[in-house]
Amino acid sequence: MIRTGLVTTVTALTLSTQACAAPAEDVAATPAANATASQSAPSSPPASPSGEGVSPSGGGVFSGTRKVAISMESGPPAYLVVGADGKVVGNVRLTERSVFVPVPAGAGHQIRTAFADNSCVGVRRNAGGPPTLVVAVCAPEAEGQLFRFVQTDERDSEGRRTYRIESTSGPVTFDSLNGLHVQDPDNTARATGFAVIDRGPA
């Protein structure tokens, strides 16, 4: 069941032991700021395999006007949450830092945070492990901030439709070794499914 109240204390479920050293990054983990970003169009994530849904065109929770929580259906039940260090991990509780706004951008969406202005989820490449998700100042031209929600044919434990979340670097996934990370697109392991839960007007 979904908790209806947002709690302000993040009780983080540690999902990864990988270090975050990143000499080469798509986006840097920086605090949200009211910076003005370039409006050039970002590149598109790779096309979806045949037989599966495509990224939603922008209705409902994908319209840019709705706040959402994103729960993952792999490992212990958890919501995506932004930690104090700016890294996106999993949390067993729904908190104010677990609320996002998917905003149409190019052929996909930016995933903006609802708790801070001009703050978006992006992919960061790490020297000591697979790419991870971090929050940075929104930059529409940044490939690492463009995602596609690809509908699957599966439902979560509450009967909600699930989606793969794909970046230009590969699908977002969770496993016990690396926690929440971006999977190599050549990896044939099944990507994690995510439910996108409406939390009201943005």
Question: Which domain CATH number covers 173?
Answer: 2.80.10.50
CA 73/CA 79 separation, integer angstroms:
9
| pLDDT averaged per 10 residues in sequence order, the chain, 202 residues | 36 35 41 36 42 55 97 84 95 94 94 97 94 95 93 92 94 91 86 95 96
| 130 close to 117: Cβ distance less than 8 angstroms | no
**pLDDT at position 34:** 34
Phi, psi of 138 (to 5 degrees): -60, 135
Instruction: Kindly state the percentage of the chain with pLDDT values over 70.
Output: 70
pLDDT at 13: 34
Helix (H, G, I), strand (E, B) or coil at 145: helix
Residue 22 in any domain: the answer is: no
Hunting for tokens 């994690």 — which residue is that? 192
Q: Which residue range forms the structural domain that includes residue 113?
A: 66-201
Using CA atoms, how far apart are residues 55 and 151, in angstroms rounded to an integer?
7
Q: How far is CA 199 from the centre of its chain?
A: 16
**Does any domain span residue 36?**
no
Does residue 12 form part of some domain?
no
- The predicted pLDDT at position 141 comes to 84
* 104 in a structural domain: yes
- Would 100 be classed as within a structural domain? yes
Report yes or no on 131 lying in a domain.
Answer: yes
SS3 assignment, position 143:
helix
Q: How many domains does the chain have?
A: 1
pTM for the predicted model, two decimal places: 0.73
Alpha-carbon gap, residue 160 to 69, rounded angstroms? 13
Owner of token pair 């302000």: 8
In a domain, 126, yes or no: yes
For residue 61, the SS3 value is: helix
Summarised one tens digit per residue, pLDDT across range 98-152 is 999 999 998 899 999 999 999 999 999 999 899 999 999 999 888 899 999 999 9
